[in-house]
Structure 1
């Protein structure tokens, strides 16, 4: 049984369906372009990281003087300065930054894979534990493969960015398709 609130939500979704469709198409196109140019996508990911670090640095410095007092103020200001330095190096040494970020990602995947393998054996008495084991093996192997592939820093970050943008586009397209099929009959037609 649908409520008035649900009808309002569906009406709003239906009115904006064209935007979801347009965003979905654009994001899929951008994702495919990035997929075809992984080094450019990796460079984009490094620059996004640099911008985020610099914004984080500025926010930490502002917070250090607006929110904190005493020794904590300087602690947060130091964090802000370190963030700014990391952002600066991302822009001035993008290749080295890509290498560092890719290696950090690989190490995190290896650690996550080991944790999942341990969890698989902890949950062995329960149904579906094999999927945890399978996931752990794949995650561990992905981390090892990334760490051992010499040219990984030039495509891994770009691949992650491209896949994320591609799937966001698919998500918007699926939402637009759902809205078209599921909107109540009382809604206006687009």
Structure 2
């Protein structure tokens, strides 16, 4: 049984399919370009980090003086100033920022790997626990490789960005292909 809502959604999907294709193709191209220049991609991540930290700093300062009253106002202002300093530092010293961010990422992966391995052994009585163990070992190994590699700050962040953008593009292309298989609305 068809409903008006389903017909409207199908119509909108078919109407916008070309935009999903275009966005997917552009993202795949950007992802491939970033993969080909991981150093530049890493600097892009650092610049984006700097911009976001500065925006966060400004928003914290606005919140401190426009939203909050009392003693917590100065805490928000302090966070705003720290965010602004971190954003400025990202632009002033992008290589050092890349080293710090890459180290933090590696440490987070190590911690995540240990947690997944611990969870795997807790799930051992259940089927599929081995996949959790495998995931934990892979995450742990990724963190260790990043931490052990002296040149990782120059490519890891860029690799994560490039792969994310590439897969988003593939996702949109796959979505557009799936829309093509949905029968259009007939009137």
**TM-score normalised per structure 1:** 0.96
CA contact (8 A) 1:108 1:143 kept: yes
SS, match of residue 16 in structure 1: helix
Q: Distance in 2 between matches of 1:69 and 1:183?
A: 57
Q: Distance in 2 between matches of 1:150 and 1:2?
A: 60
SS, match of residue 103 in structure 2: helix
State the match for 1:102 in structure 2. 102
Do the aligned partners of residues 63 and 181 (structure 1) sit closer, same or farther apart at CA in structure 2, a change above 3 Å counting? same
1:15-66 per-residue CA deviation (whole Å, 9 max, x = no partner) reads 1111110010000000000000000000000000101101111111111112
Do the aligned partners of residues 75 and 3 (structure 1) sit closer, same or farther apart at CA in structure 2, a change above 3 Å counting? same
Q: Distance in 2 between matches of 1:2 and 1:53?
A: 49
State the match for 1:92 in structure 2. 92
State the match for 2:186 in structure 1. 186
Q: Distance in 1 between matches of 2:2 and 2:121?
A: 44
State the match for 2:141 in structure 1. 141
SS, match of residue 166 in structure 1: helix
State the match for 2:162 in structure 1. 162
Instruction: Show structure 1 runs of 5+ residues with no match.
Output: none
CA contact (8 A) 1:11 1:183 kept: no
SS, match of residue 68 in structure 1: coil
**TM-score normalised per structure 2:** 0.97
SS, match of residue 85 in structure 1: helix
* Structure 1 ranges of 4+ moved more than 6 A: none
